[in-house]
């Protein structure tokens, strides 16, 4: 692991599952930042300023500067304002927030408490992905510990500052990761995104001003407060402050979560994961979760892992989910599976996404199954033209970008499929390449 | 105001407007499906995308607020590409078989596809099929056609007040449906048919009976409740095929209640009377008009000559037109003079106010304000009203007012869910309503430091009354109203309730309003369809039976307060003359002449609605068979009886006579504004168990009772004996058991039903149904025993 | 309809939200009801809606929108196996195939003995541990090699034998 870690610091893999408790966290220096903010009576502006200086960018996918976002919250608002943590990690390839909640839930709680202080939000919710019940249960226990220690609740540490924090458990809908769908879901409705404007900072949960950040974003806050925004920025590179968790999945020897400084060259990250599995060659990589455009090996190997570099290469750092694919992968089949995912997860609210994701999936499915037509690739691009930028939320774009990028970079493979009614990569090779990657089971 | 530009045209719009509203102001059409001016913004169809200068992508016009200096292009390349793209998506899973769709010709999707659709489809996959749903007798479904605009869902949630429809599942599997197997029972359900932009929700009664272009569209006015909803009646071959709302923001907005919309089916009922009939030796014979009218004239003359004019009585329906009511009372006055027994207030039981109204004997109890003013109220107390079912669209306005923050309180005898956010309520047996209202008054008087009547001062104020009073008082200088509903107006202590309401109103700065029961509840007063100083009112002329009766559109066995007494009086009479569009079963027994007169669609006439608005309308079809407009029949009868003043040659002439030549929009000068000097009488002893009766929405008048689809709706269920669990227990009766209820000399056998929304000490038995015609008054002591 | 214990758990969820926002607890309440009843029958959904003072259709929208609710009966052990791309690259599809073969059922089917229902999952948020499967919405099983799957099935069968008609874990 690289030099400085701040999200996973002090956590030993072997014992990680047992050292999540309040005592352990405090032992690692936890809650010092919250205490500092309260003891020094830092002004909310000062806290926000520190976050601004850190250049911390939202870790949920969009990479929006967090300090700026916090400053949008109306200061003089008389009623309740809300703070939400987005732990609905459901983007295929992303599993970093899971580790944060598993091994270090108090760091998220502390980050949220500081954010609440900075924005004057009296109530917060952590929206936790449905499929990780154990993390939800654990987070509730962590909340109990924090509450008992007076670290959340009323009059925190005698400072007069109040912040109630609760966990809300999702129940299986990728779309609830979209921040306004998440708010709807907390309100007990279907997770159907809201049209913006109005933005959550003016009309959020229950119609009240609300800020939503990703789990990892909050988890970075205590360190920034303790060490200063500049220090954090220095960990990474300009405009891309700090370290970042990367969820690496697919054809590497050791898939997993890696905390590295922003701007690390991709080959180094690959090396940390033990390199390519079975010694096969890298074919393609999706650097930022399933909705980020795929990049072919030669482009990917030149990238550093930060927002700007990946964007320049034509993709997105997104949530930092790195899906590594070797030469045994059939790109049509890979796209078919992703397209099915977006078709399945569209909330069904707006027309282009509801109708378009099914259309995309069916055409890719047809090509994969030997029923492709010459005009299909243009049709697919045409359909994405009609989805992108015309939907209520970004799921429409998320469904379109893979289609466009797979066709763009691997057009010949799609054409081969259409012409020859079969995969370019022989099925046995595909099967061999994606067979169960044997490691000890944990159940 | 903001300065913006749409398609190069500059305009000023109010802050907070959306682009689509601004475009509307300019008369520029932006295609849309999900947007509707009365519903929340969903922005889901994405058909209204337009180009906005500096915006990187097309923006939905329905949801994008305008900003100063905004430049919008609705027809630019970017906008049109987006609109066409949206249309393509909407059509890929939509059947392209307009010729067999019931919506064909009036389909927004079809219309817009002509402008924005491509000629050939790029979509080659199989189309989605969605199972149809049974939403009840009124709304038909063809769900495969649904484009998921969610207008219907938002309507049930926001306008009707209960989310009876939803969008279940997600993505492409999303489906509009009701909760599994449930029908849509809202009294406003038909509006979703109008709202659905495609053929997914259509009218079940109308289904496939005509194409829109075959139908003539004629304006009319609803003959049912006191609102006077404006209608478009669609006609084919002289038959009414369908009724739609005519937009009128001041009255019904763009809505109709299901009663207004579907009652037209009764116009084509097999029970229609199409030729005059006479009963001879117990046998009914069809006769010609001459014979029938001669018979009536002779009969009335005989009775008047032999027994005096007071031996005749006329019971007129409040759903009859102004002109009909006027000529009918004029006829009776012509025959009987000051002793004329004539009345249209058939369900009223307390007439003690007669002759005491401050603004003159014929000043009408009315809403006390314009209907549209309800929207601005911020404190409301509704007394004795089955609000949603009695005045569905007034309830709708109050629902919206409550959403905007108005405090709506309720004082009533049944806690039916009004689907309105109720601020405070008191639910007590009917006999206790005056006392409860007096408690509210006492509380308000105390707060204001005003003395009250000793009887009121002696009352203990309940917490409920206190909460209601506090709400009314809290709106200092506000727009407040106390509304008296149907139950309050028909209450045996109606005068006391009114007097209390007036006192309460003057203390709290509220206005008093009567929620009009029927289309001409105000019009009947305007027409002076009331007993003269020496005449008998509706109840009295049945309590002291007459020798001859004239019934205009009335079915006393269902329409009068005491059906049992009504039947007895009519049966003993020598002559009963019935003017009706129908052949009522009861009349076949007690009448000796049946004269077929026009329903509202076959005659011109006027209704004066609850806000005092005079709404005149023309016939939309020819009278059926030998049916004649009632005003003509009454005029000829006047001639045959040799009476003066029956020379009118049109209904307009009758109306001109009523208004002394004027054609007022409102009847301002005949509305009762008065503080009345009614004596307060708080004491009713109704015994340990008393009846509360509603007049079910689809039983309220002769026309709706004959509308078959409405009669299949849940609201048309036959009356049962409803009690709360404590009451059932007290009586030792299990829900579902048959019981005998006895009231006065009458009785009926009904099924006992559990209804926790009733207070203890009452049994709720609906009125206006043949199965309860054996019972007497809608209120008062009653006994229930298990069978 | 729902047990006191279930109602108590729902009441606890209600404390998380503002008093006038009871609907916020609907997801938790439906999950609690499903844990108790095995699946969400129409009456169960109606009872939850009634308890929270919301329209039954509003509750049905929720029950049909979120994947982890079961609107029809499922086996005692519902196994949701992820086959999304990241998992598929590391054996997710192989694991699913092995389950199908061993249990003799396809996705969305239940074994004749009523023990197992197989579901295809979208991303469970555990791609690094592929193949992964989720048992009865609660227990995440990682690195599910064919041997691990066989072992899990054996364990569950044994549990079923030991506690025949017991409640869901
Ligand atoms: C379809 C969709 C799914 C998303 N899923 C997630 C998610 O699982 N977790 C997350 O933090 N953000 C997700 N986002 C991004 C959020 O909308 C939002 O930008 C983010 O939570 C803000 O937090 P941040 O500024 O800290 O990144 C998603 C966005 C979209 C459009
Ligand atoms: S969604 Fe669409 S049509 Fe519906 S109105 Fe708007 S954007 Fe417009
Ligand atoms: S893709 Fe399988 S858990 Fe994420």
Per-residue pLDDT, B672: 83
Interface membership of A337 toward C (CB under 8 Å):
yes
Residue B675 clears pLDDT 70, i.e. is over it: no
Interface membership of A355 toward B (CB under 8 Å):
yes
Per-residue pLDDT, B128: 92
Per-residue pLDDT, C165: 64
Per-residue pLDDT of A249-273, as tens digits, reads: 999 999 999 999 999 999 999 999 9
User: How far apart are the C-alpha atoms of B110 and B107, rounded to whole Å?
Assistant: 5
Per-residue pLDDT of B37-79, as tens digits, reads: 999 999 999 999 999 999 999 999 999 999 999 999 999 999 9
Residue B496 clears pLDDT 50, i.e. is over it: yes
Residues sharing a CB contact under 8 Å with residue A153, sequence separation 6 or more, in sequence order: A147, A162, A163, A164
Per-residue pLDDT, C164: 78
Mean pLDDT of C24-48: 98
Per-residue pLDDT, B70: 97
Per-residue pLDDT of B314-323, as tens digits, reads: 999 999 999 9
Per-residue pLDDT, A358: 97
Residue B212 clears pLDDT 70, i.e. is over it: yes
How large is the ipTM? 0.95
Confidence (pTM): 0.96
For residue A1, name the pLDDT band (cuts at 50, 70, 90): very low
Q: Helix or strand or coil: residue B494?
A: helix
* Residue B585 token pair: 């079963």
Is A390 in contact with B86 (Cβ distance < 8 A)?
yes
Q: How far is the CA of C80 from the centre of ligand 3 (A)?
A: 11
Return the closest-CA partner of residue B641 out of B324, B334, B316, B329: B334
The partner residues of B513 in beta bridges, in order of sequence, read B483
The partner residues of B739 in beta bridges, in order of sequence, read B750, B786
Burial class (CB in 10 A: 0-12, 13-18, 19+), B667: buried
User: How far apart are the C-alpha atoms of B147 and B439, rounded to whole Å?
Assistant: 54
* Residue B369 token pair: 């304000």
Per-residue pLDDT of C90-141, as tens digits, reads: 999 999 999 999 999 999 999 999 999 999 999 999 999 999 999 999 999 9
Residue A441 clears pLDDT 70, i.e. is over it: no
Percentage of chain A exceeding pLDDT 90? 95
For residue B442, name the pLDDT band (cuts at 50, 70, 90): very high
Residue B361 clears pLDDT 90, i.e. is over it: no
Per-residue pLDDT, B477: 65
Is A247 in contact with C143 (Cβ distance < 8 A)?
no
Residue B661 clears pLDDT 60, i.e. is over it: yes
Per-residue pLDDT, C122: 94
The partner residues of B32 in beta bridges, in order of sequence, read none
Residue C169 clears pLDDT 50, i.e. is over it: no
Is A389 in contact with B173 (Cβ distance < 8 A)?
no
Site from B150, B179, B182 to mutate, C interface, most C CB atoms within 10 angstroms: B179
Chain A residues with CB under 8 Å of B125 CB are 359, 362-363, 366
User: How far apart are the C-alpha atoms of B132 and B139, rounded to whole Å?
Assistant: 11
Per-residue pLDDT, B719: 97
Chain B residues with CB under 8 Å of A385 CB are 85
Q: Which of B44, B89, B171 sits opposite A392 (nearest CB)?
A: B44
Chain B residues with CB under 8 Å of C50 CB are none
For residue A440, name the pLDDT band (cuts at 50, 70, 90): low
Is A247 in contact with C141 (Cβ distance < 8 A)?
no
Per-residue pLDDT, A442: 58
Per-residue pLDDT of B16-44, as tens digits, reads: 999 999 999 999 999 999 999 999 999 99
Residue A285 clears pLDDT 70, i.e. is over it: yes
Per-residue pLDDT, A415: 97
Per-residue pLDDT of A111-156, as tens digits, reads: 999 999 999 999 999 999 999 999 999 999 999 999 999 999 999 9
Helix (H) or strand (E) holding A89: none
Specify the residue for token string 């020379």. Answer: B647
Mean pLDDT of B671-692: 82
Beta strands, E only, A118-232: 123-128, 164-169, 210-214
Per-residue pLDDT, B686: 83
User: How far apart are the C-alpha atoms of A76 and B630, rounded to whole Å?
Assistant: 68
Per-residue pLDDT, B60: 97
**Pocket perturbation via mutation, ligand 1, pick of A7, A94, A135, A177 by most ligand atoms within 8 A of CB:** A177
Helix (H) or strand (E) holding A163: none
Per-residue pLDDT of A178-224, as tens digits, reads: 999 999 999 999 999 999 999 999 999 999 999 999 999 999 999 99
Delineate the domains of chain C, giving CATH numbers in brackets: 4-65 (1.10.10), 77-162 (3.40.30.10)
Q: Helix or strand or coil: residue B762?
A: strand
Per-residue pLDDT of B117-138, as tens digits, reads: 887 789 989 999 999 999 999 9
Strand B230-236 with B216-221, pairing: antiparallel
Per-residue pLDDT of B689-737, as tens digits, reads: 999 999 999 999 999 999 999 999 999 999 999 999 999 999 999 999 9
Percentage of chain B exceeding pLDDT 70? 99
For residue B170, name the pLDDT band (cuts at 50, 70, 90): very high
Q: Which phi and psi (to 5°) does residue A64 adopt?
A: -75, 135
Q: Report the nearest-CA residue for atom 5 of ligand 2.
A: B35
CB-ligand 1 contact for A345 (6 Å cutoff)? no
Per-residue pLDDT, A114: 98
Per-residue pLDDT, C167: 47
Q: Which atom of ligand 1 is nearest to the CA of A175?
A: 1
Q: How far is the CA of A350 from the centre of ligand 2 (A)?
A: 9
Mean of the per-residue pLDDT values of chain B: 95
Chain C residues with CB under 8 Å of B165 CB are 57
Interface membership of C20 toward B (CB under 8 Å):
no
C-alpha to C-alpha distances, A306 to A51, A178, A303, A432, nearest whole angstrom: 18, 22, 9, 33
Q: In this structure, how many other beta carbons lie within 10 angstroms of the beta carbon of residue A117?
A: 22
- Give residue ranges with CB within 6 A of ligand 3: A 92; C 82, 84, 86-87, 92, 123-127, 130, 132
Q: Which atom of ligand 2 is nearest to the CA of B49?
A: 7
Mean of the per-residue pLDDT values of chain A: 96
Chain B interface residues facing chain C, Cβ-Cβ under 8 Å?
162-170, 177-182
Contact assessment for residue B604 and residue B621, using Cβ atoms and an 8 Å cutoff: no
What's the full length of chain C, in residues? 169
Q: How far is the CA of C132 from the centre of ligand 3 (A)?
A: 7
Q: How far is the CA of A235 from the centre of ligand 1 (A)?
A: 24
Edge-to-edge order in the sheet of strand A164-169: A164-169, A123-128, A82-87, A210-214
């Amino acid at each position: 692991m690289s030099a400085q870690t701040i999200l996973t610091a002090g956590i030993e893999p072997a014992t990680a599952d047992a050292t999540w408790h309040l005592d352990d966290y405090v032992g690692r220096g936890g809650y010092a930042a919250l205490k500092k903010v309260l003891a020094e009576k830092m002004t909310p502006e000062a806290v926000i300023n520190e976050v601004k200086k850190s250049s911390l960018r939202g870790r949920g996918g969009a990479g929006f500067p967090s300090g700026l976002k916090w400053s949008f919250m109306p200061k003089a608002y008389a009623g309740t304002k809300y703070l939400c943590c987005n732990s609905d990690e459901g983007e295929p390839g992303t599993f970093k927030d899971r580790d944060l909640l598993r091994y270090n839930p108090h760091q998220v709680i502390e980050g949220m408490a500081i954010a609440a202080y900075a924005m004057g939000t009296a109530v917060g919710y952590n929206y936790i992905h449905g499929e990780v019940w154990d993390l939800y249960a654990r987070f509730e226990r962590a909340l109990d510990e924090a509450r008992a220690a007076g670290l959340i609740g009323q009059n925190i540490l005698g400072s007069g500052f109040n912040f109630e924090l609760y966990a809300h458990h999702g129940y299986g809908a990728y779309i609830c990761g979209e921040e306004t769908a998440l708010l709807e879901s907390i309100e007990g409705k279907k997770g159907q995104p809201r049209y913006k404007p109005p933005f959550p900072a003016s009309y959020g949960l229950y119609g009240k001003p609300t800020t939503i950040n990703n789990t990892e974003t909050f988890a970075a806050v205590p360190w920034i407060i303790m060490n200063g925004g500049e220090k954090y920025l220095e960990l990474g590179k300009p405009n891309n402050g700090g370290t970042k968790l990367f969820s690496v999945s697919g054809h590497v020897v050791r898939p997993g979560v890696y905390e590295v400084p922003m701007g690390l060259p991709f080959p180094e990250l690959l090396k940390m994961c033990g390199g390519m599995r079975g010694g096969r060659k890298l074919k393609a990589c999706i650097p930022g979760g399933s909705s980020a455009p795929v990049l072919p090996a030669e482009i990917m190997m030149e990238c550093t892992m930060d927002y700007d570099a990946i964007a320049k290469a034509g993709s997105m750092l997104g949530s930092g989910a790195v899906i590594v694919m070797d030469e045994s992968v059939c790109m049509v089949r890979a796209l078919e599976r992703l397209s099915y995912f977006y078709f399945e997860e569209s909330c069904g609210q707006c027309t282009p996404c509801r109708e378009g994701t099914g259309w995309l999936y069916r055409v890719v499915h047809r090509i994969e199954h030997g029923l492709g037509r010459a005009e299909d690739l243009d049709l697919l691009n045409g359909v994405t033209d009609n989805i992108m930028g015309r939907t209520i939320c970004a799921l429409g774009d998320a469904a379109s970008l893979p289609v466009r990028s797979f066709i763009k970079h691997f057009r010949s493979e799609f054409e081969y499929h259409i012409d020859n009614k079969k995969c370019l990569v022989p099925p046995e090779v595909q099967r061999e390449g994606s067979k169960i990657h044997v490691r000890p089971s944990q159940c | 105001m903001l300065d913006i530009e749409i398609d190069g045209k500059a305009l000023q719009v109010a802050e907070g407007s959306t682009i689509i509203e601004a475009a509307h102001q300019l008369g520029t059409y932006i295609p849309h499906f999900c947007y509707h001016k009365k519903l929340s913004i969903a922005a889901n169809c994405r058909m209204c995308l337009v180009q906005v200068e500096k915006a990187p992508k097309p923006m939905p016009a329905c949801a994008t607020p305008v900003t100063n200096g905004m430049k919008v292009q609705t027809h630019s390349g970017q906008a049109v590409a987006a609109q066409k793209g949206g249309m393509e998506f909407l059509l890929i899973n939509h059947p392209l078989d307009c010729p067999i769709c019931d919506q064909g010709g009036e389909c927004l999707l079809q219309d817009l596809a002509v402008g924005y659709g491509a000629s050939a489809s790029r979509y080659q996959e199989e189309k989605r099929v969605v199972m149809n749903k049974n939403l009840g007798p009124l709304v038909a479904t063809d769900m495969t056609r649904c484009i998921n605009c969610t207008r219907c869902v938002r309507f049930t949630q926001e306008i009707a007040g209960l989310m009876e429809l939803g969008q279940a599942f997600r993505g492409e599997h999303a489906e509009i449906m009701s909760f599994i197997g449930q029908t849509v029972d809202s009294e406003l359900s038909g509006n979703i048919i109008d709202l659905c932009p495609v053929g997914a929700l259509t009218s079940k009664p109308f289904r496939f009976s005509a194409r829109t272009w075959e139908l003539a569209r004629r304006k009319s006015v609803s003959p049912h409740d006191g609102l006077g909803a404006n209608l478009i009646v669609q006609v084919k071959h002289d038959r009414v095929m369908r009724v739609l709302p005519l937009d009128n923001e001041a009255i019904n907005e763009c809505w109709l209640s299901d009663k207004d919309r579907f009652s037209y089916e009764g116009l084509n009922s097999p029970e229609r009377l199409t030729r005059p009939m006479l009963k001879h030796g117990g046998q009914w014979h069809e006769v010609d008009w001459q014979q029938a009218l001669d018979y009536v004239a002779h009969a009335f003359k005989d009775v008047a000559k032999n027994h005096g004019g007071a031996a005749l009585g006329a019971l007129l329906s409040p759903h009859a037109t102004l002109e009909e009511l006027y000529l009918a009372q004029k006829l009776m006055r012509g025959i009987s003079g000051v002793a004329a027994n004539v009345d249209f207030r058939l369900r009223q039981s307390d007439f003690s106010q007669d002759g005491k109204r401050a603004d003159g004997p014929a000043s009408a109890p009315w809403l006390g304000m314009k209907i549209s003013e309800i929207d601005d109220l911020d404190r409301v107390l509704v007394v004795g009203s089955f609000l949603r079912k009695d005045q569905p669209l007034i309830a709708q306005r109050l629902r919206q007012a409550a959403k905007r923050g108005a405090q709506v309180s309720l004082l009533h005898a049944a806690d039916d869910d009004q689907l309105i956010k109720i601020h405070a309520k008191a639910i007590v047996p009917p006999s206790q309503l005056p006392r409860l209202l007096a408690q509210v008054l006492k509380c308000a008087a105390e707060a204001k430091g005003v003395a009250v009547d000793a009887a009121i001062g002696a009352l203990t104020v309940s917490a409920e009354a206190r909460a209601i009073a506090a709400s009314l008082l809290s709106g200092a200088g506000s727009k407040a109203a106390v509304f008296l509903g149907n139950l309050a107006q028909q209450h045996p202590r109606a005068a006391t309730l009114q007097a209390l309401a007036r006192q309460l109103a003057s203390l709290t700065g509220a206005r008093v309003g009567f929620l009009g029961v029927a289309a001409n509840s105000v019009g009947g007063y305007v027409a002076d369809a009331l007993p003269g100083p020496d005449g008998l009112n509706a109840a009295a002329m049945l309590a002291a039976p007459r020798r001859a009766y004239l019934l205009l559109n009335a079915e006393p066995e269902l329409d009068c307060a005491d059906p049992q007494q009504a039947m007895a009086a009519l049966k003993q009479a020598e002559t009963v003359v019935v003017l009706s569009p129908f052949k009522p079963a009861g009349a076949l027994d007690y009448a000796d002449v049946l004269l077929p007169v026009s329903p509202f669609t076959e005659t011109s006439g006027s209704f004066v609605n609850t806000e005092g608005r005079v709404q005149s309308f023309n016939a939309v079809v020819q009278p059926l068979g030998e049916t004649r407009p009632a005003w003509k029949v009454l005029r000829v009868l006047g001639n045959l009886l040799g009476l003066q003043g029956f020379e009118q040659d049109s209904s307009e002439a009758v109306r001109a006579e009523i208004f002394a030549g004027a054609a007022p929009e409102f009847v301002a000068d005949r509305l009762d504004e008065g503080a009345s000097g009614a004596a307060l009488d708080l004491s009713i002893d109704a015994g340990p168990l008393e009846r509360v009766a509603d007049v079910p929405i689809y039983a309220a008048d002769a026309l709706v009772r004959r509308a078959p689809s409405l009669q299949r709706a849940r609201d048309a269920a036959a009356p049962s004996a409803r009690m709360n669990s404590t009451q059932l227990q007290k009586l030792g009766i299990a829900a579902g058991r048959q019981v005998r209820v006895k009231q006065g000399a009458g009785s009926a056998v009904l099924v006992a039903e559990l209804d926790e929304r009733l207070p203890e000490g009452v049994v709720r038995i609906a009125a206006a149904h043949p199965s309860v015609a054996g019972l007497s008054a809608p209120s008062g002591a009653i006994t229930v025993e298990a069978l | 309809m729902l047990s006191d214990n279930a109602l108590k758990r729902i009441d606890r969820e209600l404390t998380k939200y503002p008093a006038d926002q009871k609907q916020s607890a609907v997801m938790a309440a439906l999950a609690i009801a499903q844990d108790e009843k095995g699946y969400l029958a129409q009456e169960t959904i109606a009872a939850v809606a009634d308890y929270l003072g919301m329209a039954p259709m509003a509750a049905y929208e929720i029950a049909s929108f979120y994947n982890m609710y079961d609107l029809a009966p499922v086996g005692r052990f519902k196994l949701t196996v992820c086959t999304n791309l990241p998992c598929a690259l590391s054996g997710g599809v192989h694991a699913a195939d092995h389950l199908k073969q061993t249990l003799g059922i396809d996705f969305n089917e239940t074994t004749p003995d009523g023990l197992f229902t197989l579901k295809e999952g979208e991303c469970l948020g555990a791609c690094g541990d592929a193949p992964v499967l989720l048992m009865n919405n609660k227990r995440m099983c990682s690195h599910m090699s064919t041997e691990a799957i066989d072992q899990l099935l054996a364990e569950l069968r044994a549990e079923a034998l030991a506690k025949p008609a017991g409640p869901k874990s």
